[in-house]
Amino acid sequence: MVPKTYRYVVRTISAAGSGEATATSGVGDGDDVATGHKKKLRVAYQGMPGAYSEAAALTAYPTCDPCPCDQFENAFEATEQWTADRAVLPFENSLGGSIHRNYDLILQHRLHIVGEVYFKVRHCLLALPGQSKEKIKRAQSHPQALSQCDGYLTALGVVKEAVDDTAGAAAAIAAAGQMGVAAVASRRAAELYGMEVLEEDIQDDKSNVTRFLALAREPVLPRPGIPYKTSIAFSMKEESGSLFKALACFALRDINLTKVESRPMRWNPVTQQDNKTMQFSYLFYVDFEASMADENAQNALRQLQEKATFLRVLGSYPADDSRL
């Protein structure tokens, strides 16, 4: 049986273009509904000041008040419980792939995707002043950052140690006065915590980009003249051609898909039908280029809903069309 947290669907598909949503803002906006004046948004992110997530939050909302959170879960909870107005969290990286924890969490919380930011990550090797690279024996950072610099760190011959946050690694090394230990973090983290940049752009691929999603309690209203994306999650009955039939709902309407990913369901991971071998039941994540106000998109989702065993719209939001 599907838990209640997974049954929650963002608005009915038929109401998507009716203007029933109460949201008044998307990425970059901060209207106070009561007064009509701009307010300074509180934006939750995972990590400490100097984390890449903080920089992404400020890119999405330049005048916001960034609110650091220890874990991804805390950022979701802060937004859901009105401690923060938005959360900006990483969901995909061009080197490390999807951040599956956040894809799981978005299904467990009643938040909507309201925007996206593609952020170019530039990792630096930081250490306390007065050291050379040759003196470094250990490197600490978030697991994603370590994986993105794996080739560089392996060639350097250091022991890689995973911690909760890139900037947190720099802060901890500085606080403890640890020599011979480096952090993989941002240049801003070096400035904040009195570290020295031993080398910049140490990621294995110089085109290292992370896709951050902005989350809010209410969805955003579609605005004309702006490219939109819509993100959904769905599951299908286990039968031949089921995924083909699901994706055909979009292909037949000439709707372009920008992401397709499958993961075993958390609530019903293994099935066995008609004395067949055991297999995983899969949940599919799909992003497509259209807003929920688009009649083609509404019809595609209606058709998909007829075939799917589970369907949830995670958000319809302005696409990031900026240049990196």
Task: Report, as residue numbers or ranges, the catalytic residues.
Answer: 210, 212
Q: Which tokens hold the place of 319?
A: 């696409």
Q: How many Å apart are CA 275 and CA 278, to the nearest integer?
A: 9
Query: What are the E-state strand segments in the chain?
Result: 42-46, 65-69, 86-93, 97-98, 112-120, 124-127, 138-141, 159-162, 181-185, 196-200, 209-216, 228-236, 257-264, 270-271, 279-280, 282-288, 308-318
Q: How many Å apart are CA 51 and CA 189, to the nearest integer?
A: 7
Q: Which tokens hold the place of 253?
A: 């309407």
Strands 112-120 and 209-216: antiparallel
Q: How many Å apart are CA 246 and CA 308, to the nearest integer?
A: 8
Cα dihedral 171, 175, 178, 181 in deg (nearest 10): 0
Cα dihedral 60, 62, 65, 66 in deg (nearest 10): 50
Q: Which tokens hold the place of 207?
A: 């085109």
What is the distance, to the nearest Å, from the Cα of residue 174 to the centroid of all Cα atoms in its chain? 29
Q: Which tokens hold the place of 238?
A: 């286990």
